[in-house]
Structure 1
């Protein structure tokens, strides 16, 4: 069974990205995936302290809720990450998780010494975001951050769903097309991961 983690990065419980991700989760489950939901605002996680205990241990040595998340992220096939935009990047909750995953970057590149420039990633990720303004480059910073965060997870940024001009809580619910896009993206992610497994079994 395809295993996916769905990370809710909004400070709001019922925010617009949370609504979209909930629909993506439904799509993934309807496609047969096992989805574990992670609500970052409910966790106690320190920012990365850059003490590099991970260089010796192979995992983050800070004792908090990240330990369980780190283990989970290493065992999934796909990731669905949702965050609103704050000053052209992801939320503080999301950025803390991303920075703590520096432990996985260290494990991959310093300990296991994998080469840089990987193109054939074994796993896939979906990023969902909304921003209140309509600027052309509104999502550029977040997309770059997410791309390289996913690289640390041996994962390609497979698809992004981004929506401009969304600010008030619940506003996205007025867009049935956006909700349908999120649902279908969740289903499509599972299909893409299933196709990957099919190709591997016939390779």
Structure 2
């Protein structure tokens, strides 16, 4: 049974990305995944302070809720991340988490000296996002950030569910086809992991 971490990056508890992530989590569990859920707005997590103790230990020096999430993410087979778009990137809550994973980047590339792009990414990430406008490049910034975030965790972007013209709380409920797609993606994400021998 694959172990999956699901991260709610919206500042709203009942936001549109949260609703979509709930569907993906339900799909993953229905397919047999062990899913641990984390709501970033409920965690006490400092931004990265560039202490750079991680250069020697490979671990962030700041002792807060990030430490729990760090261990869960590294132990997971896959990660489902959901965030709305704010100024063409992820929410502040999500960006704090990503910046704290600088310690993972340092461990991988400075301490372990992995040549960039050379280690196969066996673990997978699913990204779910919504944006208020219909801009052609609405998700470009977030997708680039998410790809590098997943890479620091030795994950590849498996799929991204991206929905435009979704703004106010509950707007996603007007699109049952998006809800169904998120549920299916959760199931397919789970079945994409190899079965134990």
- Range of TM-score over shorter length: over 0.9
1:155 corresponds in structure 2 to: 155
Distance 2:176 2:38 in 1: 25
Which digits, 9 at most, give the CA deviation of each residue in 1:70-103, with x for residues without a partner?
A: 1111100000000000000000000000000011
2:60 corresponds in structure 1 to: 60
SS of match in other structure, 2:88: coil
Which digits, 9 at most, give the CA deviation of each residue in 1:7-34, with x for residues without a partner?
A: 0000000000000000000000000000
Tell me, yes or no, if structure 1 residue 78 matches structure 2 residue 86. Answer: no
Structure 1, unmatched stretches of 5+, are: none
Tell me, yes or no, if structure 1 residue 17 matches structure 2 residue 28. Answer: no
TM-score computed with the length of structure 2 as normaliser: 0.98
Which runs of structure 1 show a deviation greater than 3 angstroms over 4 or more consecutive aligned residues?
none
- State the Cα RMSD in Å: 1.0
1:143 corresponds in structure 2 to: 143
TM-score computed with the length of structure 1 as normaliser: 0.95
Tell me the CA shift for residue 118 of structure 1.
3.3
1:128 corresponds in structure 2 to: 128
1:28 corresponds in structure 2 to: 28
Distance 1:68 1:120 in 2: 26
Which digits, 9 at most, give the CA deviation of each residue in 1:94-127, with x for residues without a partner?
A: 0000000011111111111111013631100000
Structure-2 change in CA distance of 1:138 and 1:119 (3 Å) = farther
Tell me the CA shift for residue 56 of structure 1.
1.1
SS of match in other structure, 1:50: coil
1:4 corresponds in structure 2 to: 4
Distance 1:75 1:118 in 2: 21
The number of residues matched between the two structures is 197
Distance 2:71 2:106 in 1: 15
2:173 corresponds in structure 1 to: 173
